[in-house]
Amino acid sequence: MAISLHTKLCDMLDIEYPVMAFNHCRDVVAAVGNAGGCGVLGALALPPEQIAIEANWIKEHSDKPFGIDLVFPSAAPEMITHEQLMAMIPQGYKDFMDKFKAPLGLPEQIWGGAGMDVFLELGIGGSYESQLKQLDAALETKPAIIAAALGFNREIVDRCHSAGAKCATLVGNVKNAKRAAEAGVDIIVAQGTEAGGHTGRIGTLALVPQVVDAVSPTPVLAAGGIADGRGLVAALALGAVGVWTGTIWLTAHESPLVDFLKDRVIEATDEDAVISKIYTGKTARVLNCKYIERWQQPDAPATLPMPLQNLYSPMPLFLSTEDSYSASLFDKPGLQEYATSAAGNAAGLIKQRKSVRKIMEDMMTEAVEILGAE
């Protein structure tokens, strides 16, 4: 059977290329839409008003479909305060972190400060109520798609559908893929362990066809390790209707990732993106750095479950030029070695900075060449 670059995903979302792009920055999301794919804004840490501002900005700069990525209730602590969460952190953990931070001049925390907006006060994920408020704010802006790595249920799927949005969820195994399909999710993203950010244990090559078989006829996207036309064609050959990408956009000109981390992504080899629980309490793939090495020393405590692990930590997973406070903390040569970015094994494939449009064009040109087709 011939492989076509115009897939069911293109029809579902009314886009030219079967490429979805996760990014925290509205500029990248709008640029991906304008280049023929579908950008998805990472918004789990944004208060509802900010989600509206970012989404409206995207709509002013692109008339193409876009998505918003959140996280949903099953992952959320209910009726818990910042103080209660902080009290759950063992003293030995705090002592270890204090000993690490003090000589480097790092503050107590960046995330989770008492009195901060609830979305930061409770760490990643917020509360049940706050997540539904985020969802409503997102749906108001009429995105083509609402995505989430955690927590879709039938009620949320119905809410999205009533507002005219499709749902996509990221899964790392067949069990969760089936659960999502049963909840009525429209697109399943089978994300292999190669992926940047939170990730599972199964490689993309083995995972995608198993998820395709398990949830058919629900369409599946392949994610994890895809950074060029070869990856796109391979994903289609595995039965996916397109790709869901993250790492490849980190070094785009439009991406606000700080310069020294863009360089680190470009210099990365196949072995430099490693899995660690020290950022969020869940396994996440990030570029190796001195902070990770510190946690590998014998005196390091056990990591804590989400959201506790990053409530007492000043170490962000994405240093953005748009977050001048966090970016300036690491704007010192000695400290930069402790900073990192979430990034996948595909970092080893990224050799130069390009515009979003050029990244997309290169991927499509290569895919067309491989297929010998239009």
Ligand X SMILES: Cc1cc2nc3c(=O)[nH]c(=O)nc-3n(C[C@H](O)[C@H](O)[C@H](O)COP(=O)(O)O)c2cc1C
Residues in touch with ligand X (CB under 6 A):
22, 42, 44, 69, 149, 170, 191, 194-197, 223-226, 244-248, 318, 341-344, 346
User: Which lies closer to ligand X via its Cβ, residue 93 or residue 134?
Assistant: 134
For residue 78, the minimal CB distance to ligand X (Å) is 21
Check if the beta carbon of residue 356 is closer than 8 Å to that of residue 29. no
For residue 365, the minimal CB distance to ligand X (Å) is 19
What residues form DSSP beta bridges with 166? 145
288 Cβ contact partners less than 8 Å away, ≥ 6 residues apart: 272, 273, 274, 340
Query: Where does 45-127 have alpha helices with state H?
Result: 48-61, 82-87, 91-104, 118-121
Can you give the C-alpha Rg of the chain in angstroms? Answer: 20
Q: Cα(20)–Cα(66) distance, rounded to whole angstroms?
A: 9
For residue 246, the minimal CB distance to ligand X (Å) is 2
Backbone angles phi, psi at 119, to 5 degrees: -70, -25
Q: Cα(164)–Cα(149) distance, rounded to whole angstroms?
A: 20
User: Which lies closer to ligand X via its Cβ, residue 256 or residue 314?
Assistant: 256
User: Which lies closer to ligand X via its Cβ, residue 69 or residue 254?
Assistant: 69
Query: Where does 216-319 have alpha helices with state H?
Result: 229-237, 259-267, 290-295
For residue 75, the minimal CB distance to ligand X (Å) is 11
For residue 92, the minimal CB distance to ligand X (Å) is 29
For residue 121, the minimal CB distance to ligand X (Å) is 18
293 Cβ contact partners less than 8 Å away, ≥ 6 residues apart: none
368: its two tokens: 């067309």
For residue 273, the minimal CB distance to ligand X (Å) is 8
User: Which lies closer to ligand X via its Cβ, residue 86 or residue 323?
Assistant: 323
User: Which lies closer to ligand X via its Cβ, residue 29 or residue 96?
Assistant: 29
Residue nearest to ligand X (CB): 246
Taking Cα atoms as reference points, which of 151, 136, 145 lies closest to residue 164?
Answer: 145
User: Which lies closer to ligand X via its Cβ, residue 245 or residue 336?
Assistant: 245
Q: Are strands 284-287 and 273-276 parallel, antiparallel or unpaired?
A: antiparallel
For residue 132, the minimal CB distance to ligand X (Å) is 18
User: Which lies closer to ligand X via its Cβ, residue 93 or residue 177?
Assistant: 177
Q: Cα(276)–Cα(42) distance, rounded to whole angstroms?
A: 21
Taking Cα atoms as reference points, which of 243, 197, 16, 49 lies closest to residue 133?
Answer: 49
Q: Amino acid identity, residue 117? A: D
Residue showing tokens 């927590």:
151
For residue 169, the minimal CB distance to ligand X (Å) is 9
Check if the beta carbon of residue 314 is closer than 8 Å to that of residue 108. yes
User: Which lies closer to ligand X via its Cβ, residue 58 or residue 170?
Assistant: 170
User: Which lies closer to ligand X via its Cβ, residue 250 or residue 311?
Assistant: 250
Q: Cα(229)–Cα(7) distance, rounded to whole angstroms?
A: 15
Report how far Cα 155 is from the mean position of its chain's Cα atoms. Answer: 23
